[in-house]
């Protein structure tokens, strides 16, 4: 399976999982000059910025291992862009999660990093 197909299937699996646990999907593949966020959702009143990483195997490590410091910085900057345009949405706080999809099975890492980018 090619990487793009794996990524799309992973994002679909992540969104289905999030909906199944009561999250509301606000936006998918939000893009701005700072970068892209795979999924923006609401968990109750909290806005959740979700990075989805998918892999079909572990030959190159686990999916979540690819969300390093540089990727976290880009997600944080992108979240700032989104938040500036949606101020009312973020008044109850926000969170940064990672969903690692391995062979089609999502694993949710809640609060994977904070607004400073620390794990």
The whole model's pTM is what? 0.92
**What are the domain boundaries of the chain?**
3-113
Give per-residue pLDDT as tens, 34-90: 999 999 999 999 999 999 999 888 888 888 998 999 999 999 999 999 999 887 777
Give per-residue pLDDT as tens, 27-39: 999 999 999 999 9
Give, in words, the CATH class of 3-113: alpha beta
Indicate the SS3 state at residue 94: strand
Q: What is the DSSP string of 28-81?
A: EEEEETTEEEEEEEEETTEEEEEEEEEES-STT--GGGG--HHHHHHHHHHHHH
């Amino acid at each position: 399976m090619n990487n793009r197909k794996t990524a799309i299937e992973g994002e679909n699996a992540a969104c289905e999982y999030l909906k199944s646990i009561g999250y509301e999907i606000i936006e998918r593949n939000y893009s701005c000059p700072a970068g892209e966020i795979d999924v923006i959702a609401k968990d109750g009143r909290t806005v959740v910025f979700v990075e989805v990483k998918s892999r079909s195997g572990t030959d190159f490590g686990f999916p979540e291992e690819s969300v390093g410091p540089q990727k976290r910085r880009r997600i944080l900057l992108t979240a700032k862009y989104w938040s500036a345009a949606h101020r009312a949405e973020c008044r109850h706080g926000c969170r940064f999660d990672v969903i690692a999809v391995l062979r089609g099975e999502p694993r949710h890492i809640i609060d994977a990093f904070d607004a400073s980018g620390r794990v």
